[in-house]
Copies of this chain bind each other. A is one copy, B any other.
Amino acid sequence: MRTHYCGHINASHIDQEVEICGWVHRRRDHGGVIFIDLRDREGLVQVVYDPDLPDIFAIAEQVRNEFVLKVRGRVRARPEGTVNPDMPTGEIEILGLGLEVLNRADTPPFQLDEHERVSEEVRLRYRYIDLRRPEMQKRIMLRAAVTRALRSYLDDNGFLDIETPMLTKATPEGARDYLVPSRTHPGHFFALPQSPQLFKQLLMMSGMDRYYQIVRCFRDEDLRADRQPEFTQLDIETSFMSENEIMNAMEEMIRGVVKQVLDVDLPDPFPHMTYQEAMRRFGSDRPDLRCPLELVDVADLMDGVDFKVFSGPAKDPKGRVAALCLPKGCELTRKEIDEYTKYVGIYGARGLAYIKVNDWSGQGRDGLQSPILKFLPDEAVNGIMERTGAQDGDLIFFGADKASVVNEALGALRVKLGEDRGLMQPGWHPVWVVDFPMFEWDEGADRWNALHHPFTAPKEDQLDLLESDPGACLSRAYDMVLNGTEVGGGSIRIHNSAVQERVFRLLGIGEEEAEEKFGFLLTALKYGCPPHGGLAFGLDRLVMLLAGAGSIRDVMAFPKTQTAACMLTAAPSEVSPAQLRELSIRVRTPKAEEQG
């Protein structure tokens, strides 16, 4: 129906007759002539209708925004002074010789240029209009380009694209499952996968050697922050590869993708950082290396001071006292400091002590300014100044609490300060975080939790720690972090059924529960399981980062709201009693509930 996309026409087509199809982006009448910007996926082009062709001109007069048109015309250079250098097609215009209205359009609920004036709810309800915005189209196209580049690398490197079931057994990831009632097995339910973790391990036991899948996963969680009930994972598993071989392949893949879609060179190789170092320097296991600020430990300087806020955590083996020096921080107003104090409060910090370095004498408190100075002996002050390397004009923040609180609070503060104070380095800063602990102690539940998942292998020389000192046992897990976001994570898996049983036991998964939930895995491990490992990337988040979008909703065609509803189709919805009867379930109404 057309010879070109609108957005592809340029000066090389001058004097050619072209046919294009698209949407009316805007229409202007100017000097007795009608200008139509016609839009398709590839861009906009200006079409001009003049009254010399009265029949066609009459049609052109009737078109409105978002009408779908088929245009025939001749490409010509724009008259001098009307060239638009901001548009790829801005050197030319099309003199309209034919015009067909393929479809009319009612006045849309919002104009594309004015999407910011309407709520996100309206944009989601009329998603097909919102998606026509060039910005949204570019994001969806970028996503397709990213998946293509990922697949291309994996296909070229012997990874097999293999599909795993969606109707499956409740998965062990720990989040809440979406359930699907079975009609043929009354009272029984499938679960939608939280990830294909066990299936991909079974594929390694099946001898598939290298597997990948771009796969939908489901978690029925409360949608705090930027989450979606269904999301997409690039899921990967390999046999007979060490963690370093896997990490090298994966960063090669990501380097290739970023080069291809953004023409940016990522570092080669990516730096590696232990979990311990990441927590110590950045208070986070997904450090944003764009920010030059770092935490500095000062507990040893504080354990004797007469200031319990500091000395308490300094003496507590689970405590931490750390300093964060902000260059030129003396510029902060009292009000700004108060706001940062509130900000760290979100993360549980009960205050935010600081020292202003006005004009330090090089010794003791002279030239420093802070309500806490009176508590600190000169020795401690000198130590702080030396370790933070603070210069005149700087400000030093302090965190003192349980280590987890200090890490979360100062870890978040350093990134916020980096952003607020323009300290963030440009560009892309990937890092592999490695040597994670196997387990973390859950105070509330009074038991060990797997930091990654229960199938993650411990370091081979630390097997004994599984029983003797679980908290010290490190895992063979690795996370890829990009600009402070965890884009992927994985591990070498346990391939020995005895070790798997020991880990289950440590996690408080009894023999019966292990058999019921994971019996098929434990059995499979006994029939010739190769050493294997892999990882999964959060595709939505990766694309969001690369697209510079603010939310994963902006890189999904049809996202759901924060209450897990689809505004466009009005899902979920009620269904007929007959359908429920076939599935052997009934709705539990509050009324029936009251009646017991």
Give the distance in Å from the alpha carbon of A21 to the alpha carbon of B532 in the complex: 12
- Chain B residue nearest to A206 (CB atoms) is B131
B residues less than 8 Å from A41 (CB atoms): 207-209
Tell whether A66 is near chain B: CB-to-CB under 8 Å. yes
Q: Of A163-171, A292-300, A336-344, which stretch is located at the interface?
A: A163-171
B residues less than 8 Å from A179 (CB atoms): 180-181, 575, 579, 583
Tell whether A1 is near chain B: CB-to-CB under 8 Å. yes
B residues less than 8 Å from A556 (CB atoms): 163
The answer to whether B137 and A161 have CB atoms under 8 Å apart is no
The answer to whether B176 and A178 have CB atoms under 8 Å apart is no
Assess A105 versus B526: contact at CB under 8 Å? Given A203-B557, A569-B168: yes
The answer to whether A531 and B161 have CB atoms under 8 Å apart is no
Tell whether A82 is near chain B: CB-to-CB under 8 Å. no
Give the distance in Å from the alpha carbon of A114 to the alpha carbon of B21 in the complex: 61
Q: Of A86-94, A391-399, A558-566, which stretch is located at the interface?
A: A558-566
The answer to whether B566 and A165 have CB atoms under 8 Å apart is yes
Give the distance in Å from the alpha carbon of A21 to the alpha carbon of B165 in the complex: 28
Give the distance in Å from the alpha carbon of A165 to the alpha carbon of B205 in the complex: 31
Tell whether A507 is near chain B: CB-to-CB under 8 Å. no
Give the distance in Å from the alpha carbon of A588 to the alpha carbon of B209 in the complex: 44
The answer to whether A132 and B207 have CB atoms under 8 Å apart is yes
Count contacts on A: residues with CB < 8 A to the other chain.
119
Give the distance in Å from the alpha carbon of A575 to the alpha carbon of B503 in the complex: 24
Please tell me how many copies of the chain the complex holds.
2
Q: Of A186-194, A302-310, A351-359, A417-425, which stretch is located at the interface?
A: A186-194
B residues less than 8 Å from A369 (CB atoms): none
Give the distance in Å from the alpha carbon of A581 to the alpha carbon of B104 in the complex: 49
Give the distance in Å from the alpha carbon of A346 to the alpha carbon of B339 in the complex: 80
Contact of A572 among B188, B202, B569 (CB under 8 A): B188
Q: Of A144-152, A322-330, A453-461, which stretch is located at the interface?
A: A144-152
Query: Which of A220, A571, A575 has the largest count of B CB atoms less than 10 A from its CB?
Result: A571
- Chain B residue nearest to A245 (CB atoms) is B1
The answer to whether A187 and B589 have CB atoms under 8 Å apart is yes
Give the distance in Å from the alpha carbon of A585 to the alpha carbon of B566 in the complex: 21
Tell whether A127 is near chain B: CB-to-CB under 8 Å. yes
- A residues 403-433 near B (Cβ < 8 Å) are none
Assess A167 versus B229: contact at CB under 8 Å? Given A106-B526, A128-B524, A208-B131: yes
The answer to whether B140 and A202 have CB atoms under 8 Å apart is no
The answer to whether B163 and A103 have CB atoms under 8 Å apart is no
Tell whether A445 is near chain B: CB-to-CB under 8 Å. no
B residues less than 8 Å from A155 (CB atoms): 144, 148
Tell whether A272 is near chain B: CB-to-CB under 8 Å. no
B residues less than 8 Å from A177 (CB atoms): 579
Assess A584 versus B585: contact at CB under 8 Å? Given A163-B216, A208-B131: no
- Chain B residue nearest to A207 (CB atoms) is B132
Interface code A194-227, partner B: CB below 8 Å = 1, 0 otherwise?
0000110011011111000000101010000000
The answer to whether A21 and B566 have CB atoms under 8 Å apart is no
Tell whether A36 is near chain B: CB-to-CB under 8 Å. no
The answer to whether A530 and B21 have CB atoms under 8 Å apart is yes
B residues less than 8 Å from A290 (CB atoms): none
Tell whether A126 is near chain B: CB-to-CB under 8 Å. yes
Interface code A1-20, partner B: CB below 8 Å = 1, 0 otherwise?
11001000000000000000
Give the distance in Å from the alpha carbon of A146 to the alpha carbon of B66 in the complex: 39
B residues less than 8 Å from A187 (CB atoms): 574, 587, 589
Assess A191 versus B571: contact at CB under 8 Å? Given A166-B230, A527-B129, A560-B165: yes
The answer to whether A206 and B128 have CB atoms under 8 Å apart is yes
The answer to whether B558 and A184 have CB atoms under 8 Å apart is no
- A residues 354-407 near B (Cβ < 8 Å) are none
Tell whether A58 is near chain B: CB-to-CB under 8 Å. no
Interface code A501-528, partner B: CB below 8 Å = 1, 0 otherwise?
0000000000000000001100010111
- Chain B residue nearest to A185 (CB atoms) is B572
Contact of A188 among B165, B181, B574, B584 (CB under 8 A): B574
Tell whether A249 is near chain B: CB-to-CB under 8 Å. no
The answer to whether B180 and A192 have CB atoms under 8 Å apart is yes
The answer to whether A167 and B207 have CB atoms under 8 Å apart is no
Assess A571 versus B216: contact at CB under 8 Å? Given A103-B528, A527-B105, A529-B68: no
B residues less than 8 Å from A105 (CB atoms): 526-528
A-B contact list, 12 entries, CB within 8 Å: A23-B528, A66-B528, A105-B526, A165-B230, A166-B218, A167-B230, A167-B560, A170-B575, A180-B180, A181-B181, A181-B585, A584-B587
Nearest 4 CB-CB pairs, A to B? A105-B528, A131-B206, A188-B572, A66-B528
A141-B160, A585-B588 known, 17 other contacts, Cβ within 8 Å: A23-B530, A41-B209, A68-B531, A103-B496, A128-B524, A131-B203, A148-B151, A164-B557, A166-B166, A169-B566, A177-B579, A179-B180, A186-B587, A187-B587, A190-B571, A202-B558, A584-B587
